[in-house]
Amino acid sequence: MADMTSKISAGLERAFAARGFAEPSVEDLRDAAGVSLRTLYKYVPSRADMVLAALENRHQRYLSRIFDGLPDVPEDATDEIFARVGSWMATETSHGCLFHAAVAADPNSARLRALLERHKAEVASRAAAATGLAAAETELLVIIEGLTQAWPICGEAAAEAAKRLGHALRISLG
């Protein structure tokens, strides 16, 4: 069932986001997914795969929450992206990026690294397209990453700082 797969992925994402990657036992993950241990292992054959399934789910949710239905005017889209990243941090994650956290928890996993790079590459390229700042894709990524990591420390002030950096960048590009 596709139902089962997405129910499990969503539950896993919630569990890892709330409690980190090290702490939850597979039995905790089973509770979060709302299925039996046997079924959980049928759809997701190891704990490492549970991490990947959770991140796959988050990737999709993040992209649609940040980039769907942005304003057409590039200046407005830029501010809106940073505002949405701030709101994402406020409601979904109290501490940093879940992809970086997963890699930090298991730095030797090549699959995890690959997923992180795919996620960030897509975020950067969509941001470049929506803001019309294609010549400054790396700068946009730096701002988004910085906002994400600074949020747990500075809160809303980080989003305001990101917007000001976006304006400064646009001006300096002429």
Partner DNA sequence: ACGCAAGTAGAGTGATCATTCTACATTGGA
Partner DNA sequence: TCCAATGTAGAATGATCACTCTACTTGCGT
Give helix then strand counts, H and E, for the chain: 9, 0
Residue 153 CA to residue 158 CA, distance in Å, equals 8
Q: From a second copy, DNA, none, which one binds at residue 83 (CB under 5 to 8 Å depending on kind)?
A: none
20 near a second copy, judged by CB under 8 A: yes
- Counting residues that bind DNA (by CB under 7 A) gives 17
Residue 104 CA to residue 108 CA, distance in Å, equals 9
Closer CB to DNA, 22 or 135, in the complex: 22
Residue 70 CA to residue 129 CA, distance in Å, equals 11
In one-letter notation, the amino acid at residue 151 is W
108 near a second copy, judged by CB under 8 A: yes
Q: Mind giving me the DSSP string for 122-173?
A: HHHHHHHHHHT-GGGHHHHHHHHHHHHHHHHHHTHHHHHHHHHHHHHHHHHT
Site pattern 38..77 for DNA (x: CB under 7 A): xx-xx--xxxx-----------------------------
Q: From a second copy, DNA, none, which one binds at residue 106 (CB under 5 to 8 Å depending on kind)?
A: a second copy
Of 20, 136, 110, 115, whose CA–CA distance to 60 is shortest?
115
Closer CB to DNA, 47 or 126, in the complex: 47
| Interface positions with DNA (CB under 7 A) | 1, 4, 25-27, 34-39, 41-42, 45-48
Which residues make up the interface to a second copy (CB under 8 A)? Answer: 19-23, 95-97, 100-101, 103-108, 116-117, 120-121, 136, 138-139, 141-150, 153-154, 157-158, 160-162, 164-165, 167-169, 171-172
